[in-house]
Amino acid sequence: MRGFLASSIGVATAAALALPLALPTPAFAESAPVGPAGSTQSLPLVPLGPAANRTPGVPGMSASPQGPETQGLPAREVRTFSLVGVVWDDVSSELHGRVQVRTRATATGAWSDWQDVETHNSEHAADPDAVERGTGRVRGATAPLWVGASDGVEVRVQAEPGAAPPPATRAGARLPSGLRIELVDPGAEPPAAPADGKNGGPGDDKGEEAVPAMSMGTAESSSANLPHAALGADEIGELNKADSTADAVFASDGALSAAAAPFIGPRPRIVTRKGWGADESLREAGFVYTNTVKAAFVHHTASGNNYACKDAPAVLRSLYRYHVLSSGWRDIGYNFAVDKCGTVYEGRAGGVSKAVLGAHTMGFNTDSMGVAVLGTFSTTAPPAVAVDAVARLTAWKLGLFGRDPRAKTTLKSGGGNLYAKGRNVSMNVISGHRDGFATECPGKQLYGRLGATRSSSAKLQGRS
């Protein structure tokens, strides 16, 4: 992103901000205790005027008292975090404006340039009438942004000129009420699995393995993936097409339809929630299912591409905390995630082969699945291995439900900004998020690869 350091004024300001220890540290609001499992700092944003301590040269930000409403947080030291996002009180209110942050890296002490945070206005969310949305905990939220290990932050949120006041906010305001910056620490990495891929001690001559100690939540989540993997497994192994079909028939007690069986794609390797270190105490207990899986919606997380593949589990743990603790959802919204090196991860708990209700495409979560590629692909092309992983995942999962990736299907809208509630809508079996909601997701570059993904997925299923 453009930086203000290009100007001499910006350089002088940067020098001053290189000493954030001189600034008062904030009173922290913790959504969970600090520890190996991670933490979230939640700090309220305050009105900003043309005061002398405002950083000059912020792109698109006006310092005029007659200019658009601006809220933010002056540069300050905070506890270590790696992901940021902005939330507000009323999930039905939209943030029409520009959100920018800059952060100080713990490794170097250097401040980043200003970075834009995507104001996606909760299109990744439960449907309007879903139980999950009516808990009273759900907030409006921007997309999260991965910034890496940081210990300083500065935030600016400016309303669009002429933006209408959101509902349930103070008179004359153009920004939603209750704006807060969420600073998420993903916590420590989970323990590595043994090199032989086993998840316990030596088994008996029947091939049984000792089950590792685990929490009730982890046992619940892991048991949903039986018999595809042992209880406590860090991953679900890759299978060829023939073995994937046999595994699916066995898992369904023979109830798999004759029409589906010939067209189940090879199962990709899937890192389980235990494998990426999900803290199962954060989510709501139990699982929620729909009747079937008729479509797959492809997303990007809009969290940026500045992560190494070894850090993908930490990115996922951060997204999980942001969705549950900051946004108020029952679990992470996506059913699956794919990193830029092509690794597939289990998302929302409930079983990778089952029709788990997600919160990824508002209005069309029922009878669908959400696959999110970690990154931002509006102008950056998605890596070929990531696109291939989406094709492999959909060939297998859609195949379990007898879906042709090249076909059309009909979904009933649960309400959104494109289709009225109750309307039957014809969709591609593999669709982009923007097909069901007016959004840029999954980014122009990733959306442009969906045609090839449909063809690849169908070919992996064995369709001519």
369 neighbors 399 (Cβ within 8 angstroms): no
Structure tokens at 301: 């997380």
Q: How far is CA 300 from the centre of its chain?
A: 8
For residue 91, the model assigns a pLDDT of 87
pLDDT at position 130: 80
SS3 154: strand
DSSP track, 108-149: T-PBPPPEEE---TT-SS--TTSGGGGSS---EE---EEEEE
Write down the pLDDT at residue 288: 96
What does the pLDDT read at residue 173? Answer: 66
In the numeric block, which tokens belong to residue 86? 């902005």
Do 161 and 68 meet the contact criterion of CB atoms below 8 Å apart?
A: yes
Closest-CA residue to 317 (of 374, 236, 380): 374
Which three-class secondary structure string do you get for 278-325?
CCCCCCCCCCCECCCCCEEEEEECCCCCCCCHHHHHHHHHHHHHHHHH
pLDDT tens readout for residues 328-340: 999 999 999 999 9
How far apart (Å, rounded) are the C-alpha atoms in residues 119 and 443? 14
- Cβ distance 87 to 139 under 8 Å? yes
Question: Do residues 446 and 434 lie in contact, with contact meaning Cβ atoms separated by under 8 Å?
Answer: no
> What does the radius of gyration of the chain's CA atoms come to, in whole angstroms?
23
Number of H helices, E strands in the chain: 8, 17
Please name which of 146, 176, 168, 15 lies closest in space to residue 85, comparing C-alpha atoms.
Answer: 146
The pLDDT of residue 451 = 97
H helix or E strand, kind and range, residue 152: strand 145-159
Rounded distance between C-alpha atoms, residue 142 and residue 18, angstroms: 28
130-to-126, 411, 437 alpha-carbon distances in Å: 6, 16, 17
Residues 6+ apart with CB under 8 A from 126: 132, 133, 138, 329, 359, 362, 365
Distance CA 236, CA 80 (A): 33
Give the type of residue at 387: V
> Which residues, in sequence order, are CB contacts of 210 under 8 Å at separation 6+?
200, 201, 202, 203
Q: Could you tell me the domains of the chain?
A: 4-185 (no CATH), 216-461 (3.40.80.10)
Does residue 441 sit in helix, strand or coil?
coil
Pairing mode, strands 295-300 and 235-236: unpaired
β-bridge mates for residue 345, sequence order: 271, 337
Distance CA 55, CA 74 (A): 9
Q: CA-to-CA distance for 21 and 151, rounded, in angstroms? A: 11
Q: 3-class DSSP state for residue 36?
A: coil
pLDDT lower than 50: segments of the chain: 1-22, 24, 32-35, 51-54, 56-66, 171, 193-208
| DSSP 8-state class, residue 328 | -
pTM for this model (two decimals): 0.85
pLDDT given for residue 37 in this prediction = 73
Pairing label, strands 97-105, 145-159: antiparallel
Task: Give me the pLDDT at residue 114, please.
Answer: 97
- Give the count of alpha carbons within 13 A of 370, CB side only: 33
Contact at 8 Å (CB) between 381 and 240?
no
What local confidence, expressed as pLDDT, does residue 67 receive? 53
